[in-house]
């Protein structure tokens, strides 16, 4: 069913008040193909919308919003080491994590409490606390909006990078992810290198809890809840910027000026620097301008205190980028899609 002038306030985690000229929540292939191939909307701009957790609307959308409501989970196959689980694009990501933890299927417990839908996860190549989606990704099925054809993409087809994929580049806005197949592990390999994770796990296991994927998931949830505001209470999209990656030579230059600069060496020899630290050094943490601001507990999180316009949040993000560039010579890139 198509609605007109649909409010998208409840479909974006920033809670920005914007409207879609046309809106449809789709949950089956026949309905989706009818919408994209029918004459009425054939030449209308289209936007695929999942959980709206990685979007900043700066204006109304003058086209057709297709809300991904494909639901369901099913085991595709299993072998001695792995479970292959198909999950449909409209499922809530954290619900999937909890389902896997409950069943003892390892691999995504470090990605607990990341907001958004399953369909958006491979587009963004979501990651947290030493794990990225691509590590458990097997394949996905996506529908091409121009033709209505469904294509299966395997790992090599997706061109995964740091918070990046082919779906953010060549195929941006051109496909809808219908389902994702994950290769989950029957035997867990724990990833607990991040300092905050280590500290919380030490507290939990000291209380008698063994180290399990459930313990790790609980630790991640505890950390994220303490640092990141609940979008249902305070509008936000989680991390607004990507952590920048620099060359070793540039990092050495920075370290001479800032000996205590936090950093993470990468396998390719480059160095990742926490964007939150850079922003905090530029004195943005906790700053508020009207209803747009930087969260008091985490400088990487921009927030809507109530009635901020998307453009106001975008303007704030650009001021932050300018100040980090001017002080450190580092360009911050938005992790959030700005429309």
Helix and strand totals (H; E) in the chain? 8, 20
Contact partners, residue 186, CB within 8 Å, separation at least 6 = 78, 80, 81, 82, 83, 104, 105, 106
182: tokens are 């994950």
Q: In 3-state terms, what secondary structure has residue 82?
A: strand
The residue whose two tokens read 């020899």 is 269
Computed over every residue of the chain, the mean pLDDT equals 91
- pLDDT tier, 42 (very low <50, low <70, confident <90, very high otherwise): confident
Q: Is a pLDDT exceeding 80 seen at residue 202? A: no
pTM for the full predicted model? 0.83
163 is known as an active-site residue = yes
132 is known as an active-site residue = no
Position 16 scores a pLDDT of 94
Q: Is a pLDDT exceeding 90 seen at residue 225? A: no
- pLDDT tier, 195 (very low <50, low <70, confident <90, very high otherwise): low
* DSSP line for 127-140: EETTEEGGGTEEEE
Q: For 266-277, what is the mean pLDDT?
A: 89
Q: For 306-332, what is the mean pLDDT?
A: 95
Position 207 scores a pLDDT of 65
Contact, 55 vs 36, CB < 8 A? no
- Catalytic residue, candidates 86, 109, 163, 299: 163
The model's pLDDT over 140-188, given as tens digits with 9 standing for 90+, comes to 999 999 889 999 999 999 999 888 899 988 999 899 999 999 999 998 8
Burial of 305 (0-12, 13-18, 19+ CB in 10 A): middle
239 is known as an active-site residue = yes
- Catalytic residue, candidates 109, 132, 135, 335: 335
CA distances, 63 to each of 6, 11, 179 (Å): 11, 16, 24
- Catalytic residue, candidates 217, 239, 299, 317: 239
* DSSP line for 8-20: -GGGSTT----EE
Q: Is a pLDDT exceeding 80 seen at residue 206? A: no
Position 119 scores a pLDDT of 94
């Amino acid at each position: 069913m198509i609605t007109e002038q649909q409010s998208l306030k409840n479909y974006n985690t920033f809670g920005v008040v914007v409207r879609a000229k046309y809106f449809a929540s789709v949950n089956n292939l026949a309905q989706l193909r009818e919408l994209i191939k029918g004459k009425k909307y054939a030449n209308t701009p289209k936007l695929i919308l999942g959980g709206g957790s990685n979007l900043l609307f700066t204006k109304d959308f003058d086209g057709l919003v297709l809300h991904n409501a494909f639901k369901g989970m099913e085991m595709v196959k299993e072998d001695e080491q792995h479970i292959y689980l198909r999950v449909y694009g409209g499922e809530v990501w954290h619900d999937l994590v909890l389902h896997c933890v409950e069943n003892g299927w390892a691999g995504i417990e470090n990605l607990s409490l990341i907001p958004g839908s399953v369909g958006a996860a491979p587009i963004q190549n979501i990651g947290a606390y030493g794990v990225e989606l691509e590590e458990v990704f097997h394949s996905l099925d996506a529908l091409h909006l121009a033709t209505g054809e469904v294509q299966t993409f395997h790992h090599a087809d997706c061109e995964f990078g740091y918070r990046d994929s082919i779906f953010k580049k060549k195929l941006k806005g051109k496909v809808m992810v219908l389902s994702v197949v994950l290769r989950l592990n029957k035997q867990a390999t724990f990833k607990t290198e991040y300092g905050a994770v280590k500290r919380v796990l030490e507290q939990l296991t000291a209380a008698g809890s063994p180290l399990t994927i459930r313990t790790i998931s609980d630790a991640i949830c505890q950390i994220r809840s303490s640092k990141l505001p609940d979008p249902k209470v305070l509008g936000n999209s989680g991390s607004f910027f990507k952590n920048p990656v620099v060359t070793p030579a540039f990092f050495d230059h920075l370290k001479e000026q800032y000996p205590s600069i936090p950093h993470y060496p990468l396998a390719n020899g480059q160095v990742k620097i926490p964007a939150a630290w850079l922003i905090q050094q530029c004195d943005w943490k906790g700053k508020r301008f009207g209803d747009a601001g930087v969260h008091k507990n985490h400088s990487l999180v921009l927030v809507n205190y109530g009635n901020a316009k998307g453009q106001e949040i975008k303007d704030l993000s650009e001021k932050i980028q300018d100040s980090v560039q001017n002080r450190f010579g580092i360009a911050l890139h938005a992790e959030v899609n700005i429309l």
